[in-house]
Amino acid sequence: MLPVVAIVGRPNVGKSTLFNALTRTRDALVADLPGVTRDRQYGISRVGERPLVLVDTGGLVSGAEGIDYLTAHQVHQAVEESTLVLFVVSARDGLTAADEEVAEVLRQKGVPVLLVANKTDGLDADVAVADFASLGLGEAAQVAAAHRRGVEKLMGRVDEFL
Ligand code: GDP
Ligand code: MG
């Protein structure tokens, strides 16, 4: 069985952009509209020589109803079947209540989590991630997925979990 790494986070933080950067495809749907990825999207990536399955998920929104509820269900399934969760937050936006809710869900699941601060482009690196220290998930990996920046280093940290 290949290790499974799920990309999770509130809508619009850049999960699908990161998925594309890690799988080098444009398979995941990227849009300015929050919640655009309704289904799970699978791709193959690798760390060094080792292949892994990467899962892009829709945003995890608490109290979601209707189609958002279905998306949330898919996210829960993806998290439960994964070896590691990449919990993506936006350095541009800073910590939000929605991020804290996602963190709480992940804590309850007890799955290994690697915090990823995306959209660090144009920001002072350390200031960009300081906001997320209160999540208690350790130091965030800093990336700018849209520019593929930090992606190699991120994979190095993923490797430590597999
Ligand atoms: P998702 O909803 O979490 O899957 O987010 P998307 O991947 O669809 O991206 C949401 C928006 O953020 C899009 O407009 C992306 O172009 C933008 N975005 C993604 N990554 C970056 C980044 O590294 N820097 C900046 N500035 N914008 C980004
Ligand atoms: Mg998406």
Give tens-digit pLDDT for 84-111.
999 999 999 999 998 998 999 899 889 9
User: Token pair of 6, please?
Assistant: 């799920």
Residue of 7, 10, 12, 41 best suited for mutating to test ligand 1, as the one with most atoms within 8 Å of CB: 12
Indicate the number of domains in the chain.
1
Q: Which domain holds residue 89?
A: 4-159
Of 98, 105, 86, residue with least CA distance to 47: 86
pTM, to two decimals? 0.88
| pLDDT-derived band at 77, boundaries 50, 70, 90 | confident
Query: Ligand 1 within 6 A of 29 CB?
Result: no
Query: Any residues with CB less than 8 A from the CB of 69 and at least 6 apart, and which?
Result: none
The ipTM is 0.99
Give tens-digit pLDDT for 8-47.
999 899 999 999 899 876 555 555 545 444 445 778 888 8
Could you tell me the CATH number of the domain that includes residue 97? Answer: 3.40.50.300
